[in-house]
Each structure stands twice: as C-alpha cells, then as structure tokens.
A and B are shown apart, each in its own frame.
Chain A
Amino acid sequence: MSSPTLPPGLAIQKADERIMTLNVGPQHPGSGHMRIIVQIDGDYIVACDPDPGYVHRGEEKMAEYRNYVLNIPHLERPVIHDSCNILYPYVLGAEELLGLEVTERAKYIRVIASELNRCVYTMYWLAIYGIFLGHSTMFMWPAGDRELLIDLLEKMTGARVTHSYFIPGGIRNDLPANFEDVCLRQVNYFEKRIKEYADVFYENPILISRTEKTGILTRENAIRLGTTGSVLRASGVDYDVRKKEPYDVYDELDFETNVMKSGDSYARSRIPWLDMMESCRIIRDALQKMPKSGSVRVKLKPNPKGALGSVYKRIESGRGALGCYIVSDKKPEPYRVKLSVPSFRNLIALPHLLIGEKLGNMPSTYWSLNYWPVEADR
C-alpha cells in the first residue's frame, strides 16, 4: 500500500517490536505546552525525553533592547499570576545597579504582595492538578477561592494578574485607604477555607493511593539534581531562600519552613498547601508591623544608567528559588539579563523520576514537580 501523505515536518520511523515511542504532545488533556517523548515497554516507561520550548518567547533577548523600567511588563509575563515574584530578583538587582534605597513601607508592601501572589499561584497549580487527576472538585474549589485574593491584588495594583507592581525603587503606588482591614478579613477567611481542603484532597483515599509512594525522589538525588522549592523540601532538605538569605524584611517576620521526608508525589503536593498557611501568617504579621505612612517610590531620572558590573539575586517564589543575573555596562539597557527559573531547574528531575514508573502515574508525577511550562521556556 502506498505511504500516506504526511503534514510537513513529520516522518515515519521504523520502531522496535517491544518498545513503543509515545508522544505526550504539546496538546494534551492536562494543561500547558510541553512535550514528553516516552518510550514504553508494556506499561513501564523505559526512556523519557522532555521537549520544552513550545512557549519560548525570547524574554532574555528582548530585555537587552529595553531599559530597566520598560523591561518590567514583559519580564513578568512568564508566570502572570505570580508576577510579583518573578520580578522580585530583577528589581532587587536593578536597585543595586542603579544605587537606589527602598523605604521600609515599600518593603513590607512588597512582602505582602509577594505572599499573596504565592498563594494565588499555588491555588491555580492545585486546580490544574485536579484536571490532571480528573478530580473536578479540585479544580473548582481552588479556582474559586483564589478569586478572594485576586480581589485584594486588584485593589492594590489595579490588575487581576500581570500587576507590574514592583519597579526599581519600590512599588508603583501606595495601598488604598483601609486596605489593612479588608486584607485581614479576607486572609482569615481564606485560611479557614484552605483548611477544609484536607478533607476533600489530602485525606481523600483516592488521591493518597494515586500519589503516595510514586515518583520517589531521594534526598541525595534531590541535592545532586539541583532541584529547588517544594520538590526539594518534600525530599527532606530544609532550604528556603526566605530563611537562608533573607531579602527585604523577611528576617523580621515570623514563619516556618515545611519539610517532609518521604519525597513522593503526595509530599510534593502537600508542601505548597502547608506553605500557603504560612503565607497567611506572614501577611498578618507584616500588616501589623508595617509602618503606617511613608513614601513608597523613589523618583527616577529618565533613562537611569546602571553601574558597571553584575549582580545575582535570588528570592523564593511559589515554585522555588528564582535567580536573576544582570550584567550592566553603564547604558540605560542592561547588557544581559538571565533568569534562572525554578521550573527549568526542576525539569531535570522529570526523566529521572519517570524511568521505571508506570505510564498511568505519569500525569501525577509530572505536575507534582511544580512545573509551569511558560516559565521554564521564558
């Protein structure tokens, strides 16, 4: 029989008798554009090759053509609902290069915005985890509850997502009047709501049987592979950049790091939930300790030029440690901006975990790595 006409870019390849190559393609019933090419022998995965890059938009190249302030809107779009956190190291680095000093009130408001963003991101991540597992309540509850915090962010910054709130020198505008009371009420209600998730998700026997003891990442491997964030803390390593290298006012706030020892998918799905409750504590603490008045922004001259040299700053975002390396050569535009994103760093764990795993465990393992495809591709 004649060979079928193929769309451009595809070819037919002779395959093995036993091993089948399967394409979990850029379009799949889960979410996000990432292709994983797995080779399976019956039901077990024998080889795995991740293929990211379907949303590679060239952020780092674009940053070389725009000055420090014009870079803010496009550098925050890799993770639009966690936008404050992905801008945070860039803004800290730009402040060091431009020689700016940030006021206390701006630092506290930054911490509050960063923690709200962490919660909003984690809720969306849990919602998509529900879609991956086929648990529609797990999609509806977090997607609905995160709207409470999005309301707060909308009051603070003016936008639901992509806030463009952090700028070198502070934040863009001050909080509205009586924001503290509204924030406190909503955060308290939010915390009560997420405690109820324990019944529906974390003590749900189906979730436990699907995620416990699968995709186990040992402590040595977690360190050797250079993973970060909740993936690392679920494997027993107590490392959180907010505690180890505090930036802004995190050294004055009172919170704990959550660590679990088992290293399986269940632990990786539980740690972000526990972190959200710590975030609520941080927000309440910061609201109390915040100076009640003061300016929040430093007036910049047009086209500020960075000092000669380079900086490397890192912060803890919803997914892990995010770093930004800026090289400057005294021009208004940075010479090189490199974002070291936690999703890209955790990607190395994916082939490591999937080899030897059953094909049915792939969705829960893949998404439990807290992988956001747009951020990994930048």
Chain B
Amino acid sequence: MLKDLITPQNANVFVGKLGDILEKAIDKPLGYAINWGRIWSLWPVHIETACCSVEFGAASSPRYDVERFGIIEAFGSLRQCDLVVVQGTITRKMAPRLRLVYDQMPEPKYVIAMGACAITGGLYFDSYNVLPGIDGVIPVDVYVPGCPPRPETLIQGCMLLQEKIKRMKARKFV
C-alpha cells in the first residue's frame, strides 16, 4: 500500500518541498556566513596594467592601507585569487591575455574596472591600439572612475563590491 502512495510524481513534489525547507532553514544563514568570508578576503590578481597601477600600489601603502579590508596582493599565482582589478588601459595585444587570466581564476570571481581607460577607453579613446572599455572582454562588477582614481576612490569601489557580494546568492544548487 505504501508503494501505491509513493508514485514518481509524488516523490518529485516531496523532494522539491524538502529542498525549499532546507533552503529556508540552512541556506540563508549559511549564505550569509559564506558571503561574509568572501567579502573580507578579496585577493586581487597581480595585473598591474598601466598608469592606474601606481594608485593601486599607493592604496596598498601604509597610508591608505587596503589590507585592513582583507585585500592582500597574494604573491603567488592567480589560481588562488578571486578579484581582478583591471588597472588602466587594455590594448588589443593584451585583451586575449586578459581573457585567459580571467578564465583561469576559480569561481567565484569579481571584476573591478579601475580608471577611465578600463571603462570606456578614457583619454586614449581614439588610439589605434586601445580597447574602448573592457566590458566586451570580461564581465565587470564595479566601475571606479578617475584618471587615475585616488586611493580613497578605489577603496570606495571595493566597498561597493562588498555590498554587491552581500546581495549575491552564495551557493549554486546543481
């Protein structure tokens, strides 16, 4: 008799409802905890492109100290990083390599476009070798304008990214 009760259709609905209950009970606090871990340890890739890299370096300096937000320049490989800060102009020669770098990073990964050149091509909009912005190559999360942006502006951009991550879904159900 129990076999008649549990038909394939019933089983599907049951499992689905169980998934909903689990999601409400565990996923939300777990997601909050996972996101909290992510936003306070964003490790950027070493990809000092052009001019803006000087202000990124200054942001890591003792005066502006972006390390207190957990953004340490990991001195190893990019396989352990989760943030790409595209600092400056991306040329046509560099664009496939940027895509390669982005593809090699593990999920979850975030992109900050720093500087006017990374957003729209900036001062070099009419040059023959410059991409008009990096949106065509990699998906961007936060745009930080400036030429170059002051280190405080970059820190504000990182905080905006943190707000964005808090709103994201922490885990994907397969």
Residues of A within 8 A of B (CB): 7-9, 25-33, 53-58, 61-62, 65, 73-74, 77, 80-81, 124, 127-128, 131, 134, 139-140, 143-144, 146-147, 150, 160-162, 374
Q: Which of B48, B55, B150 has the most CB of A within 10 A?
A: B48
Whether B129 contacts A58 by the Cβ 8 Å rule is yes
Which chain B residues (104-130) contact chain A, with CB distance < 8 Å?
Answer: 123-124, 126-130
Whether A144 contacts B61 by the Cβ 8 Å rule is yes
Q: Which of B53, B60, B147, B150 contacts A143 (CB 8 A)?
A: B60
User: Which of B16-24, B87-95, B159-167 has 4 or more CB atoms under 8 Å from chain A?
Assistant: B87-95
Whether B57 contacts A25 by the Cβ 8 Å rule is no
Interface string of B71-106 (1 = CB under 8 A from A): 001011110000000001101011011011101000
Whether B49 contacts A29 by the Cβ 8 Å rule is no
Whether A147 contacts B61 by the Cβ 8 Å rule is yes
- How far apart sit A55 and B52, CA to CA, in the bound complex (Å)? 12
Whether B58 contacts A58 by the Cβ 8 Å rule is no
Q: Which of A58, A127, A150 contacts B124 (CB 8 A)?
A: A58
Whether B75 contacts A57 by the Cβ 8 Å rule is no
Whether A26 contacts B51 by the Cβ 8 Å rule is no
Given contact pairs A57-B89, A57-B124, A160-B58, enumerate 4 new A-B contacts (beta carbons under 8 Å): A27-B46, A30-B46, A80-B148, A162-B148
- B residues within 8 A CB of A134? 75
- A residues within 8 A CB of B148? 80, 161-162
Whether B96 contacts A8 by the Cβ 8 Å rule is yes
Whether A55 contacts B89 by the Cβ 8 Å rule is yes
**Nearest A residue to B97 by beta-carbon distance?**
A26
- A residues within 8 A CB of B46? 27-31
Whether A143 contacts B57 by the Cβ 8 Å rule is yes
- B residues within 8 A CB of A32? 48, 53
Closest chain B CB from A130 CB (angstroms) = 11
| 25 chain-A/chain-B pairs, Cβ below 8 angstroms | A26-B97, A27-B45, A28-B46, A31-B46, A31-B53, A33-B47, A33-B49, A54-B91, A54-B93, A54-B94, A56-B91, A57-B50, A57-B129, A58-B129, A74-B124, A80-B148, A127-B57, A127-B61, A131-B73, A143-B58, A144-B63, A160-B55, A160-B58, A162-B148, A374-B50
Is B62 close to A, CB under 8 A? yes
- A residues within 8 A CB of B77? 29
**Nearest A residue to B126 by beta-carbon distance?**
A62
Whether B93 contacts A53 by the Cβ 8 Å rule is yes
Is B54 close to A, CB under 8 A? yes
